[in-house]
Amino acid sequence: MTQSMLARPATATAPPPRPRRRSTDRAYLIMLVPALVLFTLFLVVPTAFGMFFSLTNYAGYGPWEFVGLGNYLAMLDDPAILQAYGFTFFFAVVTVIVVNVCALAIALGLNAKIKWRNGIRTVYFVPMVLSAIVVAYVFNYLFSITLPMLAENAGLTPLASSILASERWAWVAIVIVTAWQSIPGATIIYLAGLQAVPGEIYEAASLDGAGAWRRFRSITLPLVTGYVVINMILGFKGFLGAYEIVLALTAGGPGDATTTVAMRIFSGFSGGDYSYQMANSVVFFAITVAISLIQLRFLQRKGVSL
């Protein structure tokens, strides 16, 4: 699907005028209605329920009553929630940058004329097919046991304590694992973009005496801008919902240093905080919708359609 989106030329010509029809084609209905029904049933209805309950003091069971905006007011006074928003946005921004820089670099390498190119490409895509939670548990072991042991044997005592046990640096481990898992997906998109850049341009540039860096900066980068934007947007949206990797690595700790908004929302299922966290999720929803709208506008200006 991404491929077809990206393959569309970025021209701004007006679409041809639509011919008038007496009625909508049945094929559209057949394709549209099941999707619409499923979407409504499993997304719209639960969302509406959640929004409704965010105005109550419902615990998830038992009696409840309306409390107006009480849940929302209480949220403003809750550093645990504000902390989660702060961490989640910080994490999403950092990870998006790390993932895109690394993915572009890897894509450039995999697109070059190298030996065993296909084999190496396959190896680089392995992280994508592994389950995130499994990967995170493996890394948890590496960070807590293996790395400190290696550091100790090498005489690097300051590094001998686990990065996961540090409130200041645990986020680095989460960024590393998330990036490790997400880079292949971004790399595929960049590879597709790089293959769409015509070789003649590079030849012409070489004849004009442009070096490798100059070719990258003046040819490659401008021609793959659309792909960079797409990767940024898809990545950012995904990282905002970070959950399972954090859960397996730090469970939101140490303290609550790495608790994400999604984890905070999920915690509402215990402790009778259901409606409170529903209010939180409504706010989170509003924020992500706002960000998406801004990004969409930005995309349209760049001439990429999603």
* Sites of contact with other proteins (CB under 8 A): 1, 4-5, 8, 15-16, 18-19, 25-28, 30, 57, 59-63, 65, 67, 70-71, 73-74, 77-78, 80, 143-145, 148, 160-162, 164-167, 251-256, 259, 267, 270-273, 275-276, 305-306
Nearest to other proteins of 93, 134 (CB atom): 134
273 touches 58 (CB < 8 A): no
Give the integer Cα–Cα distance in Å for 38 and 249.
34
Closest contact distance (angstroms) between CB of 109 and other proteins is 29
Q: How far is the CB of 198 from other proteins (least distance, A)?
A: 23
Looking at beta carbons only, is 93 or 145 nearer to other proteins? 145
Buried b (16+ CB within 10 A) or exposed e, 60-85: beeeeeebeebbbeebeeeeebebbb
Maximum alpha-carbon separation in the chain: 80
- Kindly tell me which of 88 and 162 has the beta carbon lying closer to other proteins: 162
| DSSP reduced 3-state for 213 | helix
Between 111 and 231, name the residue whose CB sits nearer to other proteins.
Answer: 231
Could you tell me the CA-to-CA distances from 260 to 113, 132, 171, 280 in Å, in that order? Answer: 42, 16, 11, 12
- Nearer to other proteins among residue 6 and residue 104 (C-beta): 6
Cβ at position 195, least distance to other proteins in Å? 20
Q: Which of 165, 168, 132, 143 is nearest to 246 (CA)?
A: 132
**Alpha carbons 248 and 212: distance in angstroms, whole number:** 41
Rounded to a whole number of angstroms, the minimum distance from the CB of residue 145 to other proteins is 7
Rounded Cα distance between 196 and 5, Å, is 13
Q: In whole angstroms, what separates CA 98 from the centre of its chain? A: 12
**Residue 185 CB, nearest distance to other proteins (Å)?**
18
Shortest distance, position 223 Cβ to other proteins, whole Å: 20
Instruction: Give the count of beta carbons closer than 10 Å to the beta carbon of residue 179.
Output: 23
Q: What does the alpha-carbon distance between residue 303 and residue 13 come to, in Å, rounded to a whole number?
A: 11
Of 56 and 181, nearer to other proteins (C-beta) is 56
